[in-house]
Amino acid sequence: MEKQLNKLLADFVVEYHKLQHFHWYVKGSDFFTVHAKLEEYYDEINEAIDEVAEIMLMNKMKPASTMKEFLKLSSIAEPKGAFTSSATVFKAVLADYKHLLDEVKAVKAAADKANNYLVSAKMDDYIGMFSKAIWMLGQTA
């Protein structure tokens, strides 16, 4: 489970930076609304980063902690350094959140199998968070 949690942690870290990038580089008439929403998203992910690392430490696991480790482990693609429309941003975030939801569900299944209720319960929180965000992002298409 340590390997799965480190991958999730790495994906959260890269997604955090990707959301922050989009927050800075979104452009268009809906800038103010999208800018604020992206800040909400990266604040949620930032909290999740700390929670996953702490859960790992509580379970005597060693969380990855360097950008080099995170980039090696993550399957989230970094964005290009250019201004982007909200439609493009939301499409990318939706794809990433679907990936993260699948990953969280897989970690939950492993935690349930290992009778690790602490990890399982935290994954339930993330399942709810990503499911709601995916539904809302789907309304922008």
- Is the CA virtual torsion 95, 96, 99, 100 positive or negative? negative
The per-residue pLDDT for range 98-108, each reduced to its tens digit, is: 999 999 999 99
Please tell me the predicted confidence (pLDDT) of residue 82: 86
Q: What is the pLDDT of residue 121?
A: 97
Sign of CA dihedral 80, 32, 40, 94: negative
Give the residue carrying structure tokens 């970094």: 78
User: In this structure, is the dihedral angle defined by the CA atoms of residues 4, 71, 55 and 2, taken in order, positive or negative?
Assistant: positive
Q: What is the pLDDT of residue 80?
A: 84
pTM of structure: 0.95
Tens of pLDDT, residue by residue, the chain (141 residues): 999 999 999 999 999 999 999 999 999 999 999 999 999 999 999 999 999 999 999 999 999 999 999 999 999 999 987 898 999 999 999 999 999 999 999 999 999 999 999 999 999 999 999 999 999 999 986
> In this structure, how many other beta carbons lie within 10 angstroms of the beta carbon of residue 33?
12
Find the DSSP H helices in the chain: 2-25, 31-58, 67-73, 86-113, 117-138
Residue 2 phi, psi (nearest 5): -60, -40
pLDDT at residue 141, as a whole number: 66
What does the pLDDT read at residue 52? 98
Question: Under CATH, what is the fold of the domain 2-138?
Answer: Ferritin (1.20.1260)
- Report the first-to-last Cα separation within the chain, whole angstroms: 36
In sequence order, what DSSP letters do the residues of 78-106 get, joined into one string?
PPPSS-EEHHHHHHHHHHHHHHHHHHHHH
pLDDT at residue 140, rounded to an integer? 85
Domain positions in the chain are 2-138
Asked whether 85 and 26 are in contact (CB, 8 A), the reply is yes
